[in-house]
């Protein structure tokens, strides 16, 4: 298990591994939005939580097809499927690797981009906390979507269509935490629900993803 | 060969041949019943219902909106059940029925959204609001789109059936979560369920009678289209098998 | 015969006509698929019998 994790991380950080692409996308989005909607600080302050969450979600989506596609192409996915480790565990570890490479940098970069978007001061802590709790769910749900479409030639666009609706609850509760935090309201309920979705996804979706992988590798 | 024995249980209809034989007569019956009941419900609703004192004649739209919304949700539930049956008992008819139900459910969702928008324009003063019910229907539509897209993207029929079934199960959970999230996210303009038993909001029988008839009619439309669609899918599947056999024989 | 729809006539008519068109489109599509698959299947089965 550890070996898979280390291998995936090493592959991601190698040249051409795609590390940083999601981060760059996130940055560009945070620059483009003010250019599109205008520089008025009070407008940006209102939409900043939503933009940051949508940006994190799309940046996450960009790199999802890497979770299984490369392993599928070179055949190592078949090896993993027949290996003595359970496939569910492999999926979970690969989702974790995806989160470490994509989700965690987004969490760390988000406050900086919050400055660009004039995010209200009290919201920064909640932004980081909500992303920290929510982005693992994005990776696990994405791993499920990637598992569904792993054998397809033009799977990328289809995967977005499949995965984005699944992201709705995470997005709603995540952005709600930040919005309420910015307004100084109680954030306990959306935060608990966000954590609940992440915990539930992390516990159950690896099984669905492994099932989908087995079907695809049949 | 003697004539086949009377089927011992519902599962026997999972056999494609038996399903075809059953639907041979069931399809025309449901199709006629669907046309008659929907016709009665809509004609009654359109021509012979009084105007509401607040909504005026727009109340007539309810006879399309509520049945379509009901079937939009029921079609997904039916797909969920059919997917489960396919995953557990491997009945091909079940998988094909789920596939055939998806476009019907998607169109029902669009009708519900469309009639809602047309109704909302004069009454709420806007075509669209991000109301939880409206939002969750839009999300339901996205789930239908993804499901249909996944079916059409995969060549191998059994793989497609398996993967879409898994997507349907996971999607159902997330569709429910999204609905909950939408209700959490915003307060709505949309009234509660029109047929709820809360005093004061109860509908008059002058509206209820045609509405119930239209609901049954839409339900039968769904069943008829489902039967017809499943028959087409079974034929398409058999065709594929025959073509493959021809190729094998050279 | 036509009921007086008052000032919401356009909306009510649009809702009914639009919905019926969508339903008709759906029925037409299923019908077309039925005819197409039936014809194609008959063709293939006839070919299979000839062999």
Taking only the tens place, the pLDDT of each residue in C3-51 is: 777 778 888 889 999 999 999 999 999 999 999 999 998 988 888 788 6
- What integer pLDDT is reported at residue B81 of this predicted model? 96
**What are the chain A neighbours of B159 within 8 Å (beta carbons)?**
151, 215-216, 218
Residues of chain A neighbouring B167 (CB-CB closer than 8 A): 148, 162
pLDDT band, very low/low/confident/very high, at B196 (cuts 50, 70, 90): very low
B2 pLDDT above the threshold of 50: no
Predicted local distance difference test score (pLDDT) of residue A23: 87
Q: A68 in contact with B at a CB cutoff of 8 Å?
A: no
How many whole angstroms separate alpha carbon A38 and alpha carbon B226? 50
Residues (pLDDT < 70) of chain A are 15-18
Q: What is the mean pLDDT of chain A?
A: 88
pLDDT, greater one: A88 or B201: A88
Interface contact A196, partner B, CB < 8 A: no
Q: How far is CA B139 from each of CA B68, B149, B173, rounded to the nearest angstrom? A: 16, 15, 13
Task: Calculate the average pLDDT of chain B.
Answer: 86
> Would you place residue B7 in the very low, low, confident or very high pLDDT band (cuts 50, 70, 90)?
very low
**Amino acid A96: pLDDT:** 92
CA distances from A117 to A34, A48, A174, B115 (A): 7, 6, 17, 38
Residues forming a β-bridge with B215? none
Q: Say if residues A72 and A151 touch (Cβ distance below 8 Å).
A: yes
pLDDT of B120: 85
The pair phi, psi for residue B158, each rounded to 5°, is -70, -40
Distance between CA atoms of residues B217 and B200, nearest Å = 27
Indicate whether C9 belongs to any domain: no
Does the pLDDT value for residue B6 go beyond 80? no
Cβ-defined contact of B107 to C25 (cutoff 8 Å): yes
Report the residue of C9, C15, C42 to disrupt the B interface, i.e. the one with the largest count of B CBs within 10 Å: C15
When pLDDT is averaged across residues B9-26 and rounded to a whole number, the result is 80
Burial tier of B2 (Cβ tally within 10 Å: 0-12, 13-18, 19+): exposed
Q: Are A144 and A92 in contact (CB under 8 A)?
A: no
Residue C15 to residue B115, Cβ atoms within 8 A: yes
First to last CA, chain A: 23
Residue C21's pLDDT is what?
Answer: 96
What residues of C are in contact with residue B243 (Cβ under 8 Å)? Answer: 44
Among A118-127, B85-94, B180-189, B203-212, whose mean pLDDT is lowest? B180-189
Judged by a CB distance cut-off of 8 A, whether residue B95 touches chain A is no
- What does R_g of chain A's alpha carbons equal in angstroms? 18
Please report the DSSP string for C8-36 in residue order. GHHHHHHHHHHHHHHHHHHHHHHHHHHHH
Percent of chain B with pLDDT over 90: 52
pLDDT greater at residue B38 or residue B179: B38
Q: What is the pLDDT of residue B169?
A: 94
Residue A185, SS3? coil
Q: Evaluate whether C37 touches B239 at the Cβ level (below 8 Å).
A: yes
Query: Helix or strand or coil: residue B56?
Result: strand
Q: For residue C23, give both structure tokens.
A: 């339903």
ipTM of the modeled complex: 0.88
pLDDT, residue A72, reads: 84
CB contact under 8 A, B249 and C33: no
Cβ-contact A96, A66 below 8 angstroms: no
Q: What is the pLDDT confidence band of residue B198, given thresholds at 50, 70 and 90?
A: very low
Q: What is the dihedral of CA B53, B55, B60, B63, to 10 degrees?
A: -110
Interface B-C: count of C-beta contacts within 8 A: 97
Distance CA C47, CA B83 (A): 34
CB neighbours (10 Å) of residue B160? 18
CA gap A210, B127 in Å, rounded: 43
pLDDT score at B13: 63
Domain count, chain C: 1
Per-residue pLDDT of B147-174, as tens digits, reads: 999 999 988 888 999 999 999 999 999 9
Q: What is the largest CA-CA distance in chain B?
A: 73
Of A11-25, B42-56, B224-238, least confident by mean pLDDT is A11-25
Q: Is A46 exposed, middle or buried (0-12, 13-18, 19+ CB in 10 A)?
A: middle
Q: Considering only the beta carbons, identify the residue of A148, A168, A176 that sits closest to B163.
A: A148
pLDDT of res. C1: 59
DSSP B9: S
Which of C5, C15, C37 minimises the CB distance to B118?
C15
Q: How far is B96 from chain A (nearest CA, A)?
A: 18
Could you tell me if A165 and B143 are in contact, meaning their C-beta atoms sit under 8 angstroms apart? yes
Q: Which domain holds residue C40?
A: 26-51
* Dihedral Cα A196, A198, A203, A204, nearest 10 deg: 90
Give the range with max mean pLDDT: A13-17, B142-146, B238-242, C47-51: B142-146
Instruction: Report if residue C8 sits inside a domain.
Output: no
Provide CB contacts within 8 A for B58, sequence distance 6+.
Answer: B52, B119, B122, B123, C8, C11, C12
Cβ neighbour number for residue B31 with a 10 Å cutoff: 18
Domain segments of chain B as ranges: 26-188+204-249
pLDDT value of position B108: 96
Task: Check pLDDT > 50 for residue B3.
Answer: no
Instruction: Tell which CATH architecture fits domain B26-188+204-249.
Output: Up-down Bundle (1.20)
Using a CB-CB cut-off of 8 Å, the residues of chain A touching B132 are none
């Amino acid at each position: 298990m550890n070996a898979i994790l280390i291998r995936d991380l090493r592959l991601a950080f190698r040249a051409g591994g795609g590390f940083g692409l999601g981060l760059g996308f996130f940055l560009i989005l945070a620059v483009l939005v003010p250019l599109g909607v205008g520089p008025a600080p009070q407008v940006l302050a209102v939409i900043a939580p939503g933009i940051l969450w949508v940006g994190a979600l799309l940046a996450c989506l960009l790199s999802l097809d890497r979770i299984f596609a490369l392993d599928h192409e070179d055949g190592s996915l078949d090896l993993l499927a027949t290996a003595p480790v359970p496939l569910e565990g492999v999926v979970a570890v690969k989702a974790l690797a995806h989160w470490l490479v994509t989700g965690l940098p987004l969490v760390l970069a988000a406050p900086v981009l919050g400055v660009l978007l004039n995010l209200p001061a009290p919201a920064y802590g909640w932004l980081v906390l909500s992303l920290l709790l929510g982005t693992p769910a994005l990776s696990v749900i994405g791993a499920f979507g990637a598992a569904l479409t792993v054998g397809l030639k033009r799977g990328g666009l289809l995967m977005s269509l499949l995965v984005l609706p699944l992201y709705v609850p995470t997005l709603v509760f995540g952005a709600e935490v930040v919005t309420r935090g910015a307004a100084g309201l109680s954030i306990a309920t959306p935060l608990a629900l966000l954590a609940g979705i992440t915990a539930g996804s992390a516990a159950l979706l690896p099984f669905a993803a492994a099932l989908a992988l087995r079907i695809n590798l049949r | 060969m003697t004539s086949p024995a009377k089927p011992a249980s519902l599962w026997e209809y999972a056999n494609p041949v038996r399903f075809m034989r059953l639907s041979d007569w069931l399809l025309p019956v449901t199709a006629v019943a669907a046309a008659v009941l929907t016709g009665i419900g809509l004609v009654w609703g359109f021509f012979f219902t009084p105007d509401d004192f607040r909504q005026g004649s727009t109340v007539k739209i309810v006879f399309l909106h509520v049945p379509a919304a009901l079937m939009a949700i029921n079609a997904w539930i039916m797909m969920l059940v059919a997917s489960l049956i396919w995953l557990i008992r491997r009945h091909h008819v079940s998988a094909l029925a789920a596939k055939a139900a998806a476009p019907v459910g998607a169109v029902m969702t669009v009708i519900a959204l469309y009639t809602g928008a047309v109704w909302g324009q004069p009454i709420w003063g806007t075509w669209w609001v991000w109301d939880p019910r409206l939002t969750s229907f839009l999300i339901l539509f996205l789930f239908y789109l993804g499901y249909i897209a996944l079916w059409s993207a995969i060549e191998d029929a059994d793989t497609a059936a398996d993967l879409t079934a898994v997507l349907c199960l996971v999607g159902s959970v997330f569709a429910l979560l999204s609905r909950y999230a939408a209700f959490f996210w915003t307060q709505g303009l949309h009234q509660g369920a029109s047929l709820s038993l809360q005093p004061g909001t109860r509908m008059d029988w002058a509206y209820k009678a045609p509405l119930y008839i239209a609901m049954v009619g839409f339900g039968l439309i769904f069943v008829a289209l489902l039967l017809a669609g499943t028959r087409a899918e079974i034929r398409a599947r058999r065709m594929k098998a025959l073509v493959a056999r021809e190729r094998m024989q050279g | 015969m036509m009921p007086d729809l008052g000032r919401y006539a356009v909306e009510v008519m649009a809702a009914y006509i639009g919905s019926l068109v969508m339903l008709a489109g759906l029925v037409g599509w299923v019908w077309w698929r039925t005819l197409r698959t039936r014809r194609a299947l008959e063709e293939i089965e006839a070919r299979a019998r000839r062999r």
